[in-house]
Amino acid sequence: METWASIRRLTGYAALASMLATGPTLAEKKYGPGVTDTEIKIGQTMPYSGPLSGVGTTGRAELAYFAKVNAEGGVNGRKITLISLDDGYSPPKTVEQVRRLVEQEEVLAIFHPLGTPTNAAIHKYLNQKKVPHLFLGSGLARWGDPKSYPWTMPGVPIYRTEARVYGRYLLSTRPDAKIAVLYQNDDSGKEGLSGLKEGLGNRAGSMIVAEASYEVTDPTVDSQVITLKGSGADTLLVMAAVKAAAQALRKAPSIGWKPLTFLPGTSSSIEQVIKPAGLENAIGVISTHYLKDPGDSRWNHDPAMKDYLAFMKKYYGDGDALDIYNVRGYTMAQLMVQVVKQCGDDLSRENVMRQAASLRDVELPLLLPGIKINTSANDYFPIKQLQMMRFDGKRWALFGEILEQ
């Protein structure tokens, strides 16, 4: 007759046997499309041609960074293959290329595709397909909506919040300003205009004296700038992409107009905006950013900046190390590597999103000091801090405190 002790022992042995039987299953690797023991395949679209072709250097910097990672052994023993396709900043082309990446190349995720209208064209498709749509190169607030679009997450600060900062700054420093707004006629420009009005509050109606939009395909914005000058404005907010931003900065002084000008951080590149506009024409322009500027002498002895410059020399020698878009590509690629590291051997699409939404105080080398990346299941905005800066004729000079969005 069995004793209670023997029954307990048998029960214990059975439980142990069950654990041993299920152990390998629990430790089993989980792979989504594009993943093997040696490779992780991700995709993106970039405007290597078309009206924003200069910004395509971002994708080249990302390709170079993954080449560096792979040369050093990859991530958890796997190399990252980035398939980066040209969409010419054309939404129909973006759709075509992303379908190819998802349905033919079978990539694990779409990483840092650039552009507002281009991302809008693939937003619903990628969510329907349950493909991670990560770290978008566009700052629309709607990209961070985990309830409605759980597979999409932005990668840059939100346009609306940045413009709100400018509105509040003007209220505190120039409450009698007469503001003109030049904005791209799409969601990015319209969100910037809305953010400015939110920042100005009940003063928006009296302080904003003129608005003018432009199409990204317009050859110039000269006529819009002339119209805005005619409003008598002494302050100008340029919610425009790089080419139009440079044209606006150059045109205003040529017609005798020297307003206090604000640029979005995405159009603050010295190489692609300020120099084409003329350094002298940009003196006093105000913007915001979250990244260290390699052209700023304050970072000359910064180990992280030295590492970046060495990377550019070795892996992207044809690229301009001073271009902030290359800093952005370098940083976004590091953020993607962080997500992959956190995934371990569970490289399912579901876990990629879980890890992207589980970033805790991530400090990447070229983020400005004090800026950290945080996300959660209810917070899909990785970068929520900015610092204001003013162009002094040679470089962007940071001022003020780190601002929380």
Domains of the chain plus CATH, in order, are 39-157+300-386 (3.40.50.2300), 159-289 (3.40.50.2300)
| pLDDT of 103 over the 80 cut | yes
| pLDDT of 93 over the 50 cut | yes
Q: Which DSSP string corresponds to 258-318? A: --EEE--GGG--IIIIIHHH-GGGGTT-EEEESB--TT-GGGTT-HHHHHHHHHHHHH-TT
| Mean pLDDT of the residues in the chain | 93
Of 106, 84, 132, the C-alpha closest to 33 is 106
Report the share of the chain in percent with pLDDT over 70. Answer: 93
Structure confidence by residue, pLDDT tens digits, 157-179: 999 999 999 999 999 999 999 99
Structure confidence by residue, pLDDT tens digits, 40-87: 999 999 999 999 999 999 999 999 999 999 999 999 999 999 999 999
Residue 374 pLDDT class (50, 70, 90 cuts): very high
What is the pTM assigned to this prediction?
Answer: 0.88
The token pair at 40 is 């992780």
pLDDT at 27: 54
pLDDT at 225: 98
Residue 23 pLDDT class (50, 70, 90 cuts): very low
| pLDDT of 25 over the 70 cut | no
Can you tell me the mean pLDDT for 11-19?
A: 41
Report the share of the chain in percent with pLDDT over 90. Answer: 90
| pLDDT of 12 over the 80 cut | no
Query: How far apart are alpha carbons 319 and 128 in whole angstroms?
Result: 36
Structure confidence by residue, pLDDT tens digits, 220-262: 999 999 999 999 999 999 999 899 999 999 999 999 999 999 9
Of 143, 218, 151, 129, the C-alpha closest to 182 is 218
- For the chain, give me the number of helices (H) and strands (E)? 13, 14
Query: How far apart are alpha carbons 103 and 87 in whole angstroms?
Result: 17
Of 231, 240, 246, 252, the C-alpha closest to 177 is 231
Cα-based angle 115, 125, 188 (whole degrees, multiple of 5): 25
